[in-house]
Chain A
Amino acid sequence: MAVYEVKPAKVPPLGERGAIAWVRHRLLSSPFNILFTILGIAVLAMIIPPFVKWAILDANFVGHTKADCTGDGACWVFIHEKLKMFIYGFYPEAELWRAKLTIALAILTLIALKFTRLRWIKIGMIVLLPIAAIILLHGGVFGLPLVETSKWGGLLLTLVISTVGIVLSFPIGVLLALGRQSRLPIIKTLSVFYIELIRGVPLITVLFMASVILPLFFPEGINFDKLVRALIGITFFEAAYIAENIRGGLQAIPKGQYEAADALGLGYWQKMRLVILPQAIKVAIPNLVGSFISLFKDTSLVMIIGLFDLLAMVQLTANDRDWLGMETEGYVFVAFVFWIFTFGMSFYSKRLEKQLDTNNRD
């Protein structure tokens, strides 16, 4: 009986394997494709070499004044010299440790959140962090000297506004979303009215409203600080968007879930807290993170009502007589900082989505 040996499959021709095949198929598969590749290379050649030349090769990294920037490229000396202002604003030098401690606390909380399993402890941490941060930054209690909020600025202010905005707007947003889905007509109408009103106007008008008109709403003598007014404006603005995200999640929950919760004899709040919201929020996570990212970017608008966030600090220092003409460096720096944060957030959300994906798929 003839024995047939299994012959190994022939190796594909050189042009159809490895890097060569990849280049052939992804870059040069047709005349058009070749044209596009050339176009792409041309675009890259137009952007990257001049930028690298400006930002690295011709740039100035050492020195202390504008006069030290002798090259044609970027003057990173400016960023280096003003870094403290960009990060902490006008926060007094002697109290800077408090700002640093706050940032360290925030980072520690983020790490701790990662390793905590109990939901109540997590929520407790998320709520406690802004309170602790504000006590620490503002002072006036526990023997800490008072630091007026007008002294806060830079990245610190950007982070304070966005963290407080996210933490406060979330519960309001959840309530509004539940209100909008409610069967009670008055509650539903009020929620819809609020959400559509806020979503129909630009943030800047809401900020103007908060900074100019809000003081009129309260009895004489009650005066809010400028930062608090901005925070109120941003929180109430963002809550409407959060509400719509949560509503999207609520609508994605099958009716059977509601009915099952009812059948178990759960009351409205129990049903929502234990059955519906955990699922709805999970579905809503990508959109929620999208909203948080736009809130983070939108914090730059507080500049227009006279708060000194990171972008405003750059605007201010670029008008410094000793550093005229440093806008480009400043803007590139701010863009980079914002980009790191927002890209990080969207990257994290993608991972979270995968982690929370409990659908059993083959």
Chain B
Amino acid sequence: MLALLRNEKVRGILYQVLVITGFLVVAYFIAINTAHNIEVRGIKSGFGFLHSTAGFDITESPIPFSPQSTHWDVFKVGLLNTLIVAFAGIILSTILGLIIGVSRLSSNWLINRLAAGYIETFRNIPVLLQILFWYNVVLATLPTTRKSLNFLDSVFINNRGIFVPNPIFEPGAWLIGAALIAALLAGWWLHRYAIKLHEATGQNFPAFWISLGLVIGLPLLAYFIMGRPVTFDYPALKGFNFQGGKVFTPEFLALLFALSIYTATFIAEAIRSGIEAVPKGQKEAATALGLTPMQSLRFVVLPQAVRIAIPSIINQYLNLTKNSSLAAAIGYPELVTIFAGTSLNQTGQALEILGITMLTYLLISLVVSMILNWFNAKMKIKER
């Protein structure tokens, strides 16, 4: 018997049986308690509430929403708003992070120190505090609607948000989109052709500049051919507020700015560590081969740096998306604010609602990690 206990395999099985039993006992205990508590407190269960009317309105919604809409619609609006702010934040933080990250590597001492100062400041302050600061201090102290900051009578900034012209696509505008897609496809094909040509003959083909011309030129051509089918709806002051145009609310802007500025510090650090991780010998070898500094960066340093930097940058995008849930503190109507907040308070069905919310975030994370795995597999250095 004792000898059997000393057998590694037997012990492994024993441990696992113990763990799984413990896990099941705890799960059972939780399940019966929850069922009992839900009954005692008179909380409804099941997912029927998703089809009942919500009864409240949402301040900004990309899809039509009214108090008669259901909680399922609330979920959709919340998810869309989360994705919108995450998407905008990813673009803004990438631009900012690139600028700061490159500045951090600058040989200019002043620029270098400024970038370091930016990173050390914003990285060490809680993002929730930054969101509140933007919302309660910066955006709240903007002028009132009547005294809006006016840019060329088309962009207005005041304490109710930023008002910009809204493009209206008239019939015929489809050709512009089609032209853009065609230009992108042509650019991709040109790029492949340029590589082939270079490998076969060593000649360089200016694929980049031609593609750039195509991407700008073709849609512009389509725009004029179809008789300028895009017009703009300008915001205008009517009564107490602006009418028309597109408005970015202070809630959205506060969240977007705070998340982008905060995440940019991490992206900048990722870019810096990626570039610094490329061994010095690589640059020296590139110089020895007679490559110019630009060429050495483009063909030797960046391809290796990107491999290191991209995974952590994608992780930061994921963090940004998860941090957008902090909008609950200022009331931007995203998933946590309206679904895990307002809907939960109305229905009291915390278990179902929080379950759906967490599952949604989990799904986003899983999709992102799948992309990441695909990227890592593709980027893996192919060794013999």
Shortest distance from the beta carbon of B317 to any chain A beta carbon, whole Å = 14
Closest 6 CB pairs of A and B: A200-B365, A40-B110, A26-B109, A202-B322, A342-B124, A200-B362
Q: Which residues of B, 34-71, contact A by the 8 Å Cβ criterion?
A: 34, 36-38, 40
Q: 9 A-B residue contacts at CB 8 Å?
A: A26-B108, A201-B322, A202-B336, A208-B350, A212-B344, A217-B30, A304-B329, A331-B133, A331-B137
CA distance A200 to B111 in the complex (A): 36
Q: Of B12-20, B87-95, B191-199, which binds chain A?
A: B12-20
Note all chain B residues with C-beta closer than 8 A to A346: 124
Q: Which residues of A, 181-224, contact B by the 8 Å Cβ criterion?
A: 183-187, 190, 196-197, 199-205, 208-209, 212-213, 215-220
CB-based nearest B residue for A23? B109
CB-based nearest A residue for B41? A216
A185 engages B16 (CB within 8 Å): yes
The reply on B370 being an interface residue by CB < 8 A is no
A200 engages B33 (CB within 8 Å): no
The reply on B136 being an interface residue by CB < 8 A is yes
B351 engages A216 (CB within 8 Å): yes
A205 engages B354 (CB within 8 Å): yes
Residue in A40, A220, A338 whose beta carbon sits within 8 Å of that of B111 in the complex: A40
CB-based nearest B residue for A44? B114
The reply on B129 being an interface residue by CB < 8 A is yes
CB-based nearest B residue for A158? B126
Shortest distance from the beta carbon of A224 to any chain B beta carbon, whole Å = 13
Shortest distance from the beta carbon of A320 to any chain B beta carbon, whole Å = 14
The reply on B325 being an interface residue by CB < 8 A is yes
The reply on B233 being an interface residue by CB < 8 A is no
A33 engages B30 (CB within 8 Å): no
Q: Which residues of A, 1-52, contact B by the 8 Å Cβ criterion?
A: 26-27, 29, 33, 36-37, 39-41, 43-44
B361 engages A37 (CB within 8 Å): no
B361 engages A202 (CB within 8 Å): yes
Q: Of A125-133, A136-144, A295-303, which binds chain B?
A: A295-303
CA distance A357 to B132 in the complex (A): 41
The reply on B106 being an interface residue by CB < 8 A is yes
The reply on B182 being an interface residue by CB < 8 A is no
Residue in A186, A216, A300, A301 whose beta carbon sits within 8 Å of that of B38 in the complex: A216
Residue in A184, A185, A311 whose beta carbon sits within 8 Å of that of B129 in the complex: A311
CB-based nearest A residue for B321? A202
B336 engages A213 (CB within 8 Å): no
Q: Contacts A199-B365, A209-B354, A301-B326 given; indicate if A187 touches B125 (C-beta within 8 A).
A: no
CA distance A342 to B127 in the complex (A): 13
CA distance A328 to B132 in the complex (A): 10
CB-based nearest A residue for B112? A26
A331 engages B132 (CB within 8 Å): yes
Note all chain B residues with C-beta closer than 8 A to A334: 129
CA distance A301 to B322 in the complex (A): 13
Residue in A183, A184, A202, A297 whose beta carbon sits within 8 Å of that of B126 in the complex: A297
B362 engages A197 (CB within 8 Å): yes
Sorting the interface of chain B by its residue count into under 10, 10 to 19, 20 to 34 or 35 or more gives 35 or more
The reply on A339 being an interface residue by CB < 8 A is yes
B357 engages A327 (CB within 8 Å): no
Give me 18 other A-B pairs in contact (C-beta within 8 A), A205-B357, A219-B33 excluded: A44-B110, A44-B114, A185-B16, A190-B23, A201-B362, A202-B322, A202-B336, A205-B336, A205-B358, A213-B351, A297-B126, A300-B126, A315-B132, A327-B136, A331-B132, A338-B124, A338-B126, A339-B121
The proximity string for B residues 330-372 relative to A, scoring 1 for CB distances below 8 Å and 0 otherwise, is 0000001000100010000011001001100110111000000
Sorting the interface of chain A by its residue count into under 10, 10 to 19, 20 to 34 or 35 or more gives 35 or more
Residue in A186, A200, A201, A213 whose beta carbon sits within 8 Å of that of B19 in the complex: A186
CB-based nearest B residue for A25? B107
CA distance A328 to B123 in the complex (A): 19
The proximity string for A residues 297-325 relative to B, scoring 1 for CB distances below 8 Å and 0 otherwise, is 11011011000000100010010000000
CB-based nearest B residue for A345? B124
Note all chain B residues with C-beta closer than 8 A to A216: 33-34, 37-38, 350-351
The proximity string for B residues 3-37 relative to A, scoring 1 for CB distances below 8 Å and 0 otherwise, is 00000000010011001100100000010011011
Shortest distance from the beta carbon of B257 to any chain A beta carbon, whole Å = 14
Note all chain A residues with C-beta closer than 8 A to B80: none
CB-based nearest B residue for A183? B12
Shortest distance from the beta carbon of A306 to any chain B beta carbon, whole Å = 12
Residue in A213, A301, A327 whose beta carbon sits within 8 Å of that of B128 in the complex: A301
The reply on A121 being an interface residue by CB < 8 A is no
Note all chain B residues with C-beta closer than 8 A to A219: 33, 36
The reply on A335 being an interface residue by CB < 8 A is yes
CB-based nearest B residue for A215? B37
